[in-house]
Structure formats: C-alpha cells, structure tokens
Structure 1
Amino acid sequence: MHRSLPLLRLAVLTSLAGCASLAPVATTATPGAPADSRAALRRLVDSLISAPEFRSMHWGILIVDPGRGETLYSHNADKLFMPASNQKLLTGSTALTQLGPDYRWPTTLWARGAVREGVLEGDLVVRGQGDPTVSAHAHAGDALAPLRALGDSLRARGITRIRGRIVAAASPFTDSPLGFGWSFDDLDAAYSAGVDALYFNEGFSEVVVYGGAKSGDSVRAVTRPATTYPTLIVRARTVARAPAGASAADSLAARPRITVGQDSSHTGVLVAGTIAAGDSVVEEIAFRDQSGAYVAAMREAFRAQGIIVDEAPSDTTARLDSLAGMWSPTLRDIMPLFEKPSQNQIGEILFKSLALAKTGVGTADSAQQVVSRQLLAWGAPPDGFVVRDGSGLSRHDYVSPRTIVTVLDVMRRSPDFRLFYDALPIAGVDGTIRNRMKGTPAEGNLHAKTGTLDKARSLSGYVTTADGRMLLFSALANNYTVPTRRVDQVTDALGAWLAGLRLDR
C-alpha cells in the first residue's frame, strides 16, 4: 500500500538524516493538486542536487511520464555522463532486440584423429562462441556441471580415453579480452576479468587460504570451483592468534593480511602475507587466460567422469569430426544473471556476440557500430552517446540521461518489455538495490539499473506512482567528492518520492 505524501516527505527526510547539508529538503511542501505535485517534485529535486556539498559535481536527471508524453523534471538531460553500469541498459536492450530472447550460444567438441575402441587417437578440440553460463552462479554453485555433461556425451559415444590433449579452437572474438580504457589497477579483480569464446566461472577463481595449526606452520591454499587452475605459489605464513582479551592493536595484527595476485614470473598466482593459526580467508583472482582456464576445468571434469586424458603430442593437421555439443540457456534466462548483479563479463560477451552475429567480426569495434546504429534507429541523438564496451567498465563510455530514457521508453513498448523489466534490480528486493529504499513506496516497485565507477554513480529505470502511472527516470552523477552514499541518498529519496507521487488527483 502506498504511503500518503505527507508521510512520504517524512520518509525522505529520514533517509537523508545524518547528511546535514541536505536538511533544507524539510521545507518542501506536500503536493496537493496535480500542478502542485509537479511543482513540488521540481522543488524537491532542485533542493537535493543544489546542496553545497554537491557544488563541484555534475548531475544529469530526466523524469518522464511516457503515457502523457510529459517531462516532469529535466536537468542537464542532454549532457554526456560516464554511465558506469547503466551502459548495461544499452547493451541488454540491443541484445534482446537484435539477438532475440531465445538466442543461445553453442559449444561443440571435435575429434582431431580417429576414434578406435573407445580411444580418441588425437586431440579433442573444443569450440565456443561465448556461452556465459558455465559458472557456479548459473548452475547452483556447480560450475563444472555443464562440463561433466559434455563428458557424459563423450562416454555415450563410447569414448573413455583421449590420447592427445584438450585444446581450444581459434576464438571468434579476435581482439583483446579486455575492454577499451579499463583500469590497469583492477585487472586482477573478478569484476575486471576479460572474456573469450570459452569462458569459465565468470572469468575468475576463488582462492581459499588456510592458516596452519600454530604460528610458523605452513599455509595451505586451494582454488575453486576448479581445483587444478590456476597454479598457486604460496608464500604466506601463519602467525599466532590474538589471545582472549587482546588489545585492539593485537586483534588487528592477527587478522588475515593475505594478498593474491599474478606472480611476476608469470608461472602462477602468488599467495602472500599472513594469516592467524586456524583461520581461513577467501579471495578472488581473475583469469589472465580465459580459454586456458576453461580447458583446465574441462580436463578436470572429464577425469572425474572417468575419461583419461594422456596429453600426448598428436597430429595437429588431422581432419576434424564432430563429436558432441551443448547449447547455453536462452538470453531470456541470462538477462537476470546479467542485469540484477550487474555482471560485467556477460555484458562484454553480449557486446561481442552482437558483433559476431550481425557483422561476422567478433570485436569490440564492430560491436560499437552495432549498438550505435541501434541507438540511432531508436531516436537517440547522435551526440547523446559514446559506446566503447558492453559493461560500462570503460571510462570512455558516455551517455546522456535523454538517451537512457529513450532506450527505456523503446523497451517499454517492446514485446520483450516484461522480460527486460523483470531482469532489472528491484528496490528493497533483489539485485544491486536489494538494500535500498526499504520501507518506502519504492520497495518492490522501482525497477532500475545501478552503476558505479570511481566518481561515477547512476540509477535509471522505471517506477510506478501511487496513482498507477509508470514513469521513466535517469539520474547520473559524475565527479563528486562526497562519499557515494550521499549520492545514493539523493537518488533513493527521488525514487521514494516518485513512487508516492499522485499525478491524477
């Protein structure tokens, strides 16, 4: 049930408590007649974004009632902003429109050599096109499940031994696995993993580090979901646990101080630092070789299925014969895995898959052309966007609030709207806004995409007013120096106000 606007105004003020510079919102009048509602909305947003602490930053906000064709609020709506993960709205909408909700990615296995009495006398070649779902996230915590299923397919053909190796076919994604302008400092982070046509566990591994039984004991480290990749170089050491009643300084010293990163020798992942006796910690590390990670995981899965891989040299010129294959889930199933957690690598795979499907060239440059042409066809102004990747990790992506609202409106009128809408995070319920706007009219109502980069924060999507009108909004913030939560307080207050608004009264 929607709150009345007087109560909503109180909720907005409460959400801004502790942010003294935003206190002037308390003087905002409660709207009565429709004209007053619109004026009150304008006063609210103006007061929020003109707070002194925001004086050096840039806001871009557009709020539209598409049913009436009415702009309710506009501020810098045609200026370009770094969208961060709001870029995923452009990627996801273009993918749904051009690939279709039933699009799937194939993965096939090929024999390079004869099969005799259950033995492949040569290499097994695996050819992918970017299936983004061979992951723990997509398979209830079991990333190896689809690879074991491929092993079952080989066994069904009577194959229990591979004399040669498991090798990756040439990738149809022929440019860099990393996006243009991604931060070098983040390349070991899971969210910055590169992509390739063979892509395992969203491009990263967890490294679980266990302290020894007592100070000085050796440290043990393992990887998951694949236990054989990447190779670990463990140089961490066990330190004593903090005794009961220890000072804050001693307790701090006993906390895990483990670092995990690519070793300068390029022979594995270095695990260094200290960990208390009996303690454990889980870190993440992006794969530098995505196809190598996939092949290693497949080898591990096959061996678990009783398929022996000899790794012997074989004839690399032998004819290829098709053995088995699998299809990914559909794009309609993948969209929530993409938008709700803001999964960057799915965005990059969609981006390059669009390029491959529509131009025959699986590169980011080709994808840029595909997405840009689609935005222009939808009516976005030519100077309203710059597309450089599919996820928004690039600091060279730029988009205006008007372009985002144009995309939201096109999708609102699309036969795939419900799929697109349901895939977005829901305020107070799931995804990246599951803990935001709780206890306000926006909870369970507002569907929107977040975005975060250093000095860039965004929230754009759909919200339904108290009198049942669906509004489209985009709020982009760049170059702020305040804590990100201050920016979120503004957009959360805006979302709550819009959800409680009555335009028809």
Structure 2
Amino acid sequence: MLAVATLVAAGAQAAETAARQLRAGPAVVTLPAAWRERGPEVPVWLHLHGAPETTAAAFAGSGSPGILITVTLPGLSKVYADFFAEPGRLARLLEETAAAIRAEAPGGEWKYGPLTVSAFSAGFGGVRALLREPADFERIGTLVMADSIYCGYAGDAAAKQVDPALMAGFLRFAEAAAEGKKRFVLTHSEQVPEGYASTTETADYLLAKLGGTRTFEAQEWNHGLKLRSSFTRGRLDVLGFAGTAPEDHLRHLRGIGDFWDRALPVVPARGAATVAELQRQLAAHTGHPRYARSLWGVKVVSLDTGAVVYEREADQLLSPASNAKLYAGALALDRLGADYRITTPILATAAPDGAGRIAGDVMVAGRGDPGWKSGPQRDRFESIFAPFAAVLQQAGVKRIDGDLVADATYFRGPAQGSGWTADDLTYYYGAEVSAVSVEENYVDVKLAPGAAVGQPAVVTLVQPESGLRLDNRALTTAAGTTRRFEVMRLIGEETVRVFGEIPLGTAPVAEEVSVPVPARWFARALKAALARAGITVAGEARAVTWPAPSPVAANAFKLGEIKSPTMRDLVVGLMKPSQNMETDLLFAYVGEAARPADAPAWRTSEQLGVGELRRFTVALGLPPEDVRFEEGSGLSRNNLTTARATAGLLVAMAKHRAAAAFRESLPVAGVDGSLRRRMRGTEAQGNVRAKTGTLRWANSLSGYVTTAAGENLAFAIMLNRHVVPPGRTARDDVDAIAVMLARCAGRTEVRAPAP
C-alpha cells in the first residue's frame, strides 16, 4: 500500500476538497476527504483503462460520489479479459482495496455499497469477463462504457456480423437497464477499427435487439464532444458522438466525468435515517461542484414542530419563475375567499321589446373570469358560449339591432404583464391578459402531412373566429424522414406562418399561438353562437379595450349575468397546469376590487394587485424586502423573492382559513398538473404537493411533503443561473431534494416555547 498523491477540486463555495490516492496491487484508489460522510455503505466506482490522474480529476468534478478504484493494465483488451476471467477476481479486488483503505484510514464501520463499473477503450475486455460471472453481473448496479464496446465478427469478417456470443453479457445488461433494473450509459464515437466491429456497430447491434431507434440531435458537450444521436429506454442511454480521429476517441476518457454524472443517481441510494443524515445529504447535493456558478435558495420547515430542517442561502433574492403563483393564488383565496365567484353582467342599451328586439347594443362587461374555456382537451369550443345564449334567451331576446360588444375596460393597463419579454408574447404562455378572455386566449394550429410527397402540409386553426390568417409554407416529405417545423406569429400581426417538413404517415401535431385582442375573438365567436341559438345580431361584433372608456352607461339595462366557478376551482385551474394568463387575471381582479376611490385613473390593475400582495405578505409576517414582484404569474424575469419568504408563505397558508383549498390546488408528484411526469416511482409520488417554476436559468419547486416518519414539512427550493451539464435537467436537481425529504425516516424535535 502506498499513499501517493493529494488531489484538489474546486467546490461550490470555492473551497478545496482534498483526495488521497492509495495503491493496492494493480489498483489505484482515490479516497475523497469526505468519503465517510456518505454513510456506512459507501458507493464504489471501478474504472478500467485510463490514467489514474485523469479519472481522479473527473471523479472530483463529479462531486466525488464515493470511492474510485482505477485499474489500468499494460496491453490491450485481452489483458483485462484475462485478469478478470478468474472466478472471484472482482470480490478479491474489492477486499484488497478495502483493506488498503482501512490501513490508511482506520476507525469507523463502513463497507462498499452500490457498485458502478466503467471502462474506456480496451477496458471492455475486463467488463465482458465480469458480465459472464453471475455473481459479478448481480453485483454491478451501474455500467458506463465510454467508447469501449468493441467486438469480433462472427464467421466471415467481410460480412461484418457482430458476434452474438461476445455481446451476450452487454445485451443482457442493456435489457435489464431498459426494464429499469440496472443503469447503463453507453457512448461511442464514429471511429472505425480494422478487422473488428466498431463501438458504433456494437451500439447498433444492441439497439436492433431492443427494437430501439435513435433520435438525431446536435449538441455540444464538454471536452469537445459533439453529440449526434441518442436513445433512452428505462435506465438505458446510448449516446452517439461525432469524430473518427484518435483524438475523438480520447475525448470519451476526458469526458468520463460527464458520463458518470449522467449515470449517477441524483438521489442517494437510501433514505436518511435521521434528520442529521438528511441534512448531510442535502448539503452534499446542493454543494456539488456542478453548482459552483449557480445560486441555490432552499428552506425546509417542519409544520409539526416549527423546526428548521435545512436551509441554504434562504435569504438570497432569486427568480421564483412560476413559484410566484403560490403568492398570487394565496392572495386570491385570502382576499376573496374560497367560495367567491366572479360575476360578469350582460347589459343592453335598452330593454327588449315585446317581440324580443333590442334597439341598441348588447354588452358583455368582462371582469376577468378565467373560466370561459372548453376544458383540458380544448375540443368543445362552442360549448363556452351556451351560458351566454341561455341568458339572452331567458331575457326573451331574439334580435339585437345594434352591435355585440365585448367590454374589456374593467382592467386598466397593458395587455401584457410587466416584465414579460417580447419573445414570449406570441406563445400560449404569453397570451394577453384581458377582462374578456376566451379559451385561454390562444388557438391550436394543427399540422398533418398532405396526400403526397411535395404537396403542402395540411394546416388548420382548430378554434374558429380568432381572426388569424394562415401562411402555410410547410411541405410533405417522404415517410421516415425527420419532422421539422416552425409555427410563428410576429408581434402586431394576425398572420400565422408555418414552415417546415411533415413526413407522410406521421400523426397530426398541434402548436399553440396566442390571439391578439382576445375580447374581439370572444365577440365574434359569441355572435356566431347566438346565430346558432336563433338570436340575430344585426350589427358588428366588436371589442372595447383600455384606455377607451367603457361603453356601458349608468342606465344600461341588465339582461342577466354569468357566474364563474368558485375561487377554489379557479386557483386549481391556474396552479395545476401553471397557467400564466389566468393567474394574472385573478391578480388584476384582486387589485381592481381593492381600487381606492382616490386612486389615479392611470394606476393599473396590476399595480394595485402588487400593492395588495405587499399588504398581504406583511400581514403574514414575511419580510417586505423578501418579496419583490411586479406581476403575479412569474413570467417576468424581474420578480424576486427568497426561499425564506416562500417557506414562510407555505407555513402561514397551512394555518389559513383557506388552507385546504390552497393545498388541494397544488400539483401532486407523479399524478397531475405540471408534476404528473415527475418523481414517479419514488416516495414523493402521490405525496409531494408543490408548485413548479421554470424559466431559462431558473427552476423552482415549493410546497408540502410528508416524510417516511410521518412528519409534515413545508419546503421552498429555488435554483438560478444553473447551466445544466450534459445528461441532466434542472428539474432533476430540485426534484431530488423533495424525494430526499419524502424518504427521511427521522423526525425533528418539538421546539421549546420561548421564555
């Protein structure tokens, strides 16, 4: 045994983390300084073929997730195959390295935990030998092959048929990974060796056996790696990179840290047994080197004891993205009540005469009701207008001599939220905020292939009467080609331009485009609906929007009114799918409902909503400097808050009279809303109720969770300025914290009352 080196890696706080290297026979063991903090079962990583200093540096860059054993033997793949061919070789290697570690770092009970095996280039020979041994196959939980699965040909080499016998172990492991039983990350270059199958050919062999098809995409990775294709099924990833030169092959060794990072479980192998262990897990996760230039804001509080379970930079102002909706939804429930309904009056300049004729206009005086939509499938557009037709029919109206007017002047201010950027405004998530809104103020543009190659694609607007025009430049291409298209509407235009290629045989696809002046869309569609109901409108369908004065006179005749769903249902409608426009409708409504008599006319509804939010959060005891919003949905990049404030809001709302309505509005992990596909198969599924938040460089998750010990927690997680490394998403990083909380078997202690 020999202690040979000390390695240093930069951490998240620019701290230095030293790692020792020990030699045990042919193995070099990299022992991170904090290896004992990972619990009694320490993950072990065995890498075959590669300079120990290279693999150790990559390991440190991956956060040193355990103990690294590097075995580099002189020679080619046969040397590795012979070394590991002897039964029990892996077990003895692990025993020898463990003994070396105990001699160098005595004290404390520990053992090797989950085993990851990786190989570069010639190291595949050793892996092939390991996979032949049933005990070794079972012991290996994760396999990372970095441009490393080569294979001889079966029979005539000219036929280039990969030898199935030599691929049997890799195929079995790939099948297990595809079923979620193992983890397998396989990478390959385009280098072509002489006389045997390349790593591309062996990857293609595995994909063919699995019935898999690559997705072709171009992506720049670290170390000069250029991703060209990928395939994912279950826990199997096949990544194809460009390059035929020896240097391109070597990039896979230099990039081994990224491949390890992709294979690494985001969540520790086992749940924390105590709160102290949970705190160590969370500190290790948020302190990972990949966050060195990122900003975390995290706070976790026990609802049962009031204890702070964990916090990191909880007072740092960050972009909450759609976590802002927690504040807007709570504000609406507090100011209006869970059972409140928005009332929209339908008025006329004159009462209908005995024949049902109105000698004047009919006006729908919008108040921002978000409920005028056809449901999740958006396939019953005409049903939206049935209640309006019913009101007029009940009032005896049969003919309107004047215009049908959508009055959207109730909200004062621009149609876009403050801080919204221009490139958001033509998409569904940047749809206009209008006191008269319909079908979430966007249309679906449906694309399908034409009848033959070269013909225009079939493009339709699903919802009628929007006033949008189509400029279709998309063509039909041959079956099996890649579908590529772009749907765009320039700001200030009503033309939807469609470009691209739609292959024959592909299913229709829809894109969403916002509609300018949605009140005008509503008026047109309502006029058509009234005609179907037998009510004639002789005049125009038109809209009146701010800053024009309302067309409703003080002596207008009330024909009837439309009631919205309850506020609890409206808050569900904005929280579960994270609907921006509907959030800002309620935000403006709360502001307008509180408008002081002496407020200047130019004071916008949104500004009044911001004022109400400030008063609300101060009343809850949140630091006023911690909540800096300029609109309610979170689409503004200028909104700022802290994890401290968001956790405080969640704690306060857990005791609020509308606590049940607020909690029920939140998406449920793995079940519904914006969390329906997240955290599935974990202890968080069906347990975590939380609001998501996503903008470029900002990701948030805040809500409630019950731990494995039955303790109820409120948590706020914000991650900003995080440039996601290859193979990960920011959602994985924030979700991991929620899963760790759900798995914790420890409990906090009841706080003693203040003297």
Query: Using the alignment, how far apart are the partners of 1:278 and 1:113 within structure 2?
Result: 56
Query: Using the alignment, how far apart are the partners of 1:120 and 1:25 within structure 2?
Result: 66
Partner residue, 1:78: 315
| Residues 78/267 of structure 1: CA separation in 2 closer, same or farther (3 Å cut) | closer
Displacement of 1:68 in angstroms is: 1.6
| Residues 287/313 of structure 1: CA separation in 2 closer, same or farther (3 Å cut) | closer
Partner residue, 2:739: 496
Q: Which amino acid is 2:296 matched to?
A: W
| Residues 402/27 of structure 1: CA separation in 2 closer, same or farther (3 Å cut) | closer
Partner residue, 2:155: none
Q: Which region of structure 1 is more displaced relative to structure 2, 206-215 or 372-381?
A: 206-215
Please state whether the residue corresponding to 2:624 is helix, strand or coil: coil
Deviations 1:54-96 (A, max 9, x none): 1110111111113222111111001111000000011111111
| Residues 492/154 of structure 1: CA separation in 2 closer, same or farther (3 Å cut) | same
Query: Using the alignment, how far apart are the partners of 1:28 and 1:56 within structure 2?
Result: 26
1:61 equivalent in alignment to 2:288: no
Alignment partner of 1:302 out of 501, 516, 530: 530
Partner residue, 1:326: 562
Partner residue, 1:158: 396
Residue pair 1:258, 1:274 contacting (<8 A) in 2 also? no
Query: Using the alignment, how far apart are the partners of 2:332 and 2:541 within structure 1?
Result: 41
Residue pair 2:266, 2:732 contacting (<8 A) in 1 also? no
Alignment partner of 2:653 out of 387, 391, 411: 411
Please state whether the residue corresponding to 2:525 is helix, strand or coil: helix
Query: Using the alignment, how far apart are the partners of 2:491 and 2:607 within structure 1?
Result: 31
Alignment partner of 1:420 out of 646, 651, 662: 662
Partner residue, 2:496: 269
Deviations 1:371-429 (A, max 9, x none): 01111111111221101111000011001001001100111111221211111011111
Q: Which region of structure 1 is more displaced relative to structure 2, 141-150 or 52-61?
A: 141-150
Please state whether the residue corresponding to 1:257 is helix, strand or coil: strand
Residue pair 1:66, 1:472 contacting (<8 A) in 2 also? yes
1:100 equivalent in alignment to 2:337: yes
Alignment partner of 1:340 out of 554, 561, 576: 576
| Residues 303/221 of structure 1: CA separation in 2 closer, same or farther (3 Å cut) | farther
Partner residue, 2:352: 115
Partner residue, 2:520: 292
Please state whether the residue corresponding to 1:152 is helix, strand or coil: helix
Q: Which region of structure 1 is more displaced relative to structure 2, 494-503 or 471-480?
A: 494-503
Q: Which region of structure 1 is more displaced relative to structure 2, 137-146 or 185-194?
A: 137-146
Query: Using the alignment, how far apart are the partners of 2:611 and 2:267 within structure 1?
Result: 47
Displacement of 1:201 in angstroms is: 0.7
Query: Using the alignment, how far apart are the partners of 1:94 and 1:312 within structure 2?
Result: 38
Query: Using the alignment, how far apart are the partners of 2:458 and 2:594 within structure 1?
Result: 48
Displacement of 1:237 in angstroms is: 4.9
Identity of aligned residues (%): 31
Alignment partner of 2:288 out of 51, 58, 65: 51
Query: Using the alignment, how far apart are the partners of 1:24 and 1:267 within structure 2?
Result: 48
Displacement of 1:104 in angstroms is: 1.1
Q: Which amino acid is 2:403 matched to?
A: R
Please state whether the residue corresponding to 2:276 is helix, strand or coil: helix
Q: Which amino acid is 1:108 matched to?
A: P
After TM superposition, the structure 1 = structure 2 runs for residues 156-235 of structure 1, keeping only pairs within 5 Å, are 156-215=394-453, 217=455, 221-225=459-463, 227-235=464-472
The two structures have a TM-score, normalised by structure 1, of 0.87
After TM superposition, the structure 1 = structure 2 runs for residues 345-424 of structure 1, keeping only pairs within 5 Å, are 345-359=581-595, 363-424=605-666
1:466 equivalent in alignment to 2:705: no
Q: Which amino acid is 1:66 matched to?
A: L
Query: Using the alignment, how far apart are the partners of 2:643 and 2:478 within structure 1?
Result: 52
| Residues 503/166 of structure 1: CA separation in 2 closer, same or farther (3 Å cut) | same
| Residues 121/378 of structure 1: CA separation in 2 closer, same or farther (3 Å cut) | same
Q: Which amino acid is 2:740 matched to?
A: W
The answer for unaligned runs of 5 or more in structure 2 is 1-39, 42-112, 115-140, 143-179, 186-257, 543-550, 597-602, 749-755
Partner residue, 1:91: 328
Deviations 1:94-115 (A, max 9, x none): 1111111111111222122453
Please state whether the residue corresponding to 1:109 is helix, strand or coil: strand
Task: Tell me which of the two structures has the higher relative contact order, counting C-alpha pairs closer than 8 angstroms and 6 or more residues apart.
Answer: 1
Residue pair 1:25, 1:44 contacting (<8 A) in 2 also? no
Displacement of 1:183 in angstroms is: 1.6
Displacement of 1:275 in angstroms is: 4.2
Residue pair 2:272, 2:743 contacting (<8 A) in 1 also? no
| Residues 317/167 of structure 1: CA separation in 2 closer, same or farther (3 Å cut) | closer
Query: Using the alignment, how far apart are the partners of 2:688 and 2:613 within structure 1?
Result: 26
The two structures have a TM-score, normalised by structure 2, of 0.59
Query: Using the alignment, how far apart are the partners of 2:552 and 2:272 within structure 1?
Result: 76
| Residues 421/166 of structure 1: CA separation in 2 closer, same or farther (3 Å cut) | same
Alignment partner of 1:487 out of 723, 730, 737: 730
Please state whether the residue corresponding to 2:634 is helix, strand or coil: coil
Deviations 1:462-494 (A, max 9, x none): 111122110111110000111594432232222
Displacement of 1:273 in angstroms is: 4.7
Please state whether the residue corresponding to 2:330 is helix, strand or coil: helix
RMSD value, Cα? 3.1
Deviations 1:191-241 (A, max 9, x none): 11111110101111112245543356566543233x1213313342543x4
1:145 equivalent in alignment to 2:388: no
Q: Which amino acid is 1:407 matched to?
A: L
Residue pair 1:164, 1:313 contacting (<8 A) in 2 also? no
Query: Using the alignment, how far apart are the partners of 2:500 and 2:575 within structure 1?
Result: 35
Query: Using the alignment, how far apart are the partners of 2:325 and 2:552 within structure 1?
Result: 42
Partner residue, 2:44: none
Please state whether the residue corresponding to 1:222 is helix, strand or coil: strand
Query: Using the alignment, how far apart are the partners of 2:271 and 2:498 within structure 1?
Result: 58
Please state whether the residue corresponding to 1:503 is helix, strand or coil: coil
Query: Using the alignment, how far apart are the partners of 1:257 and 1:74 within structure 2?
Result: 44
| Residues 296/312 of structure 1: CA separation in 2 closer, same or farther (3 Å cut) | closer
Q: Number of residues paired by the alignment?
A: 481
Please state whether the residue corresponding to 1:56 is helix, strand or coil: coil
> Which structure has the larger Rg over C-alpha atoms?
2
Residue pair 1:28, 1:44 contacting (<8 A) in 2 also? no
Residue pair 1:214, 1:278 contacting (<8 A) in 2 also? no
Displacement of 1:146 in angstroms is: 3.8
After TM superposition, the structure 1 = structure 2 runs for residues 13-52 of structure 1, keeping only pairs within 5 Å, are 20-21=260-261, 23=264, 31-32=272-273, 37-52=274-289
Residue pair 1:21, 1:52 contacting (<8 A) in 2 also? no
Displacement of 1:267 in angstroms is: 4.9
Partner residue, 2:751: none
Q: Which region of structure 1 is more displaced relative to structure 2, 173-182 or 487-496?
A: 487-496
| Residues 156/86 of structure 1: CA separation in 2 closer, same or farther (3 Å cut) | same
Q: Which region of structure 1 is more displaced relative to structure 2, 100-109 or 163-172?
A: 163-172
Q: Which amino acid is 1:167 matched to?
A: V
The answer for unaligned runs of 5 or more in structure 1 is none
